[in-house]
Amino acid sequence: MITDARVLQPEFIPREVKHRDAEVNTLSTDLRPITGGHSPDPVFLYGPSGVGKTCIAQFTVERLRQSVVELNHQYVNCWEDYSRFKTLYSLLEGIDRTLDVHRQSTPKDVLLDRLRDYDGPPYVVILDEVDQLEDKSLLYDLYRIPDLTMVLIANREVELFAPLGDRLNSRLSTSTRIHFRPYSNSELTSILSDRVRWGLSSNVIDDDRLQLIADRASGDARVAIGILRNAALRAQENNLHKIPERVIRNVVPEAKSEIQQKTIDRLTTHQRVLYDIITEYGEIDPQMLYDEYETRIDDPKTNRMVRNYLTKLVHYNLIEAEGNTKGRVYRATE
């Protein structure tokens, strides 16, 4: 049934993108100065998840690369490389400058110096989930590197700009922001039918069922493709030659939680215990949470560290915290 699993993966970048012409054009135009040897201001892409931000960024840069003689580029997910050091390291990797820089024992900010000394072809860097970056001042440092162009991606505008500080904010306020809206059902359906054409054998799923998937995904292409992938896998396991509606319906919850599950899998034992407690209770106050945590784990960390973990979990959108001070409760995100 599945003829090409790659096209059902979330990272897959299609050769052509649909329903995002305006966004692609705007981004292309913004990046065009690069072809003339100038380096454009940073560009911001923002919008909810699964609306094609990452995809369009990579797609456009790739297309630009084909039209410019020489161009270096690098994609960094700031959720993974959240520290200043990791992001810089990743950026140096993009231009092969890490050879003699090692994970430790490099003098402070030698990485940044190294990046500053860069004098190769234009360098376009995509900083995805940039609001997760711990030290936002890095953006300011990067901004000042002449040949470096930033494409910044975040969910919401405010979350990115609020913590930047006036210095950077005023500099960046003039640059382009591209807003991404959720896909409509018909857009999702057509994206899905492409994937079906590329990745599944023919006649395994009809339009009505694609509609159903689109409907359940509520504008999020990543979820839609996830549902399709899971449904195809399930049908394949059961030796079905078509994907029935029943399978689709069954697979929706797991497809939806899949993205969150990835995050959960990467938690440490301690963070995981905290997460489990909160989801079990649904809602819990800090004291009770810590007590419960202490009983469940052999070598409990201090209360202080638990608080660090909790802010991380909130950051990851795995839990939410309500009330700023006395009377705070933690609860699971629905």
Interface mask toward DNA for 230-269; x: CB under 7 A: --------------------------------------x-
Site string for DNA, 275-294 (x = CB under 7 A): ----------xxx-------
Token pair in block for residue 168:
């950077």
Q: How many residues does the chain have?
A: 334
Stretch that binds DNA, among 45-53, 62-70, 170-178, 322-330 (CB under 7 A): 322-330
Nearest to DNA of 87, 230 (CB atom): 87
CA 48, CA 183: separation in Å to the nearest integer?
A: 10
Residue 194 CA to residue 93 CA, distance in Å, equals 34
Question: Does 301 sit near DNA (CB under 7 A)?
Answer: yes
Per CB under 7 A, does 114 bind DNA?
no
* Interface residue with DNA, options 66, 103, 238, 298 (CB under 7 A): 103
Binding string, 42-81, against DNA, x = CB under 7 A?
----------------------------------------
Closer by beta carbon to DNA, 120 or else 165: 165
| Strands lying side by side in the sheet with 148-154 | 72-77, 123-128, 148-154, 43-46, 177-179
The answer to whether 84 contacts DNA (rule: CB under 7 A) is yes
Q: Please, are residues 154 and 131 in contact by the beta-carbon 8 Å criterion? A: yes
DSSP class of 200: B
Name which position in 106, 185, 211, 218 contacts DNA (CB under 7 A): 106
Q: How many CB atoms lie within 10 A of CB 110?
A: 11
15 belongs to the binding site for DNA (CB under 7 A): no
AA identity, residue 297 = I
Query: Is 108 a binder of DNA (CB under 7 A)?
Result: yes
User: Is residue 45 within 8 Å of 56, Cβ to Cβ?
Assistant: yes
Among 131, 135, 78, 80, smallest CA distance to 112 is for 135
Q: How far apart are CA 204 and CA 304, in angstroms?
A: 54
Residues forming contacts to DNA in the complex (CB under 7 A) are 83-86, 100, 102-109, 268, 285-287, 301-302, 304-305, 307-308, 310-311, 321, 324-326, 328
